[in-house]
Amino acid sequence: MSNGRRVLYSPSYIQGFRNALCQARADLHAMSFRHACELADLRKEFDQVRADYAELRSTVLARQDAEAELAALYRERAIARARAAERDPALPLN
């Protein structure tokens, strides 16, 4: 193959270089697949956290509504007791 030029790389060196590139490409594909799998697992976990958060939020809102309703019932009871109480006309208002 020498036509008067100096041979810089032998065919075995070029083949080894190509093999190294193929191996690097295969490694990159494997790494990409592992990352895609990890991303899918993280998305599943995030969806579960989001669902848990929604459930917790609805529970907290229900508790807050119940507390507000209880406060309203206490207020109504206090008003009813005040109306039912008889005032002694002999006592001053203040």
Average model confidence (pLDDT) across the chain: 92
Residue 2 has a pLDDT of: 58
**Six token digits for residue 75:** 């207020």
- For residue range 18-64, list pLDDT tens digits in order: 999 999 999 999 999 999 999 999 999 999 999 999 999 999 999 99
pTM summary value: 0.57
Residue 49 three-state SS:
helix
Rounded-to-integer distance, Cα 49 and Cα 68, Å? 28
* Position 11 confidence tier, pLDDT thresholds 50, 70, 90: confident
